[in-house]
Amino acid sequence: MSDQPRLLCIDDEVIGLKVRRAVLERAGYEVVTAPDGRTGIELFTEQLFDGVVVDFLLPDADGGQVALQLRQIRPEVPVMLLSAYPNLPDEVLDRVNCSVMKGMGTEEFLRSVDAMVKRHRSSNHASR
């Protein structure tokens, strides 16, 4: 894997996805996007990522279901759940590394992503 961290962003909201992609690319991430859970899972199966950012509400599944499937494929890759809902069920939150509110500030979002990727990369480096 290159030095540039790779993220998979799964969201059906086109504008929000474009904004997140632009923010993350400016911060040095390579970003691959998917408009729904099925496409995201296919991409995750075919490619390597340092982390996944997935929306809670998708047209074909909820983000918790997608996270569960991603964990079955590659449990070491961290998953961040985006949601407009402040009180998600524990069974959903247990499937992800962290949950962030949609609409949070750009800097706070980037800090959360950076921390998630840094933990993943350091644990991968330590296990080699």
Contacts of residue 23, Cβ cutoff 8 Å, sequence gap at least 6: 106, 109, 110
pLDDT given at position 127: 55
Are 78 and 114 in contact, with CB atoms under 8 Å apart?
no
pLDDT given at position 54: 97
Q: Which of 95, 101, 100, 102 minimizes the C-alpha distance to 70?
A: 95
Backbone angles phi, psi at 44, to 5 degrees: -65, -35
**What is the CATH architecture assignment of 6-121?**
3-Layer(aba) Sandwich (3.40)
pLDDT given at position 125: 55
pLDDT, mean of each 10-residue run, the chain (128 residues): 87 94 97 97 98 95 94 96 88 90 89 93 66
- With b for 16 or more beta-carbon neighbours within 10 A and e for fewer, the 37-50 pattern comes to bbbbbebbeeeebb
**What residue has token string 């997140």?**
20
* pTM over 0.85, yes/no: yes
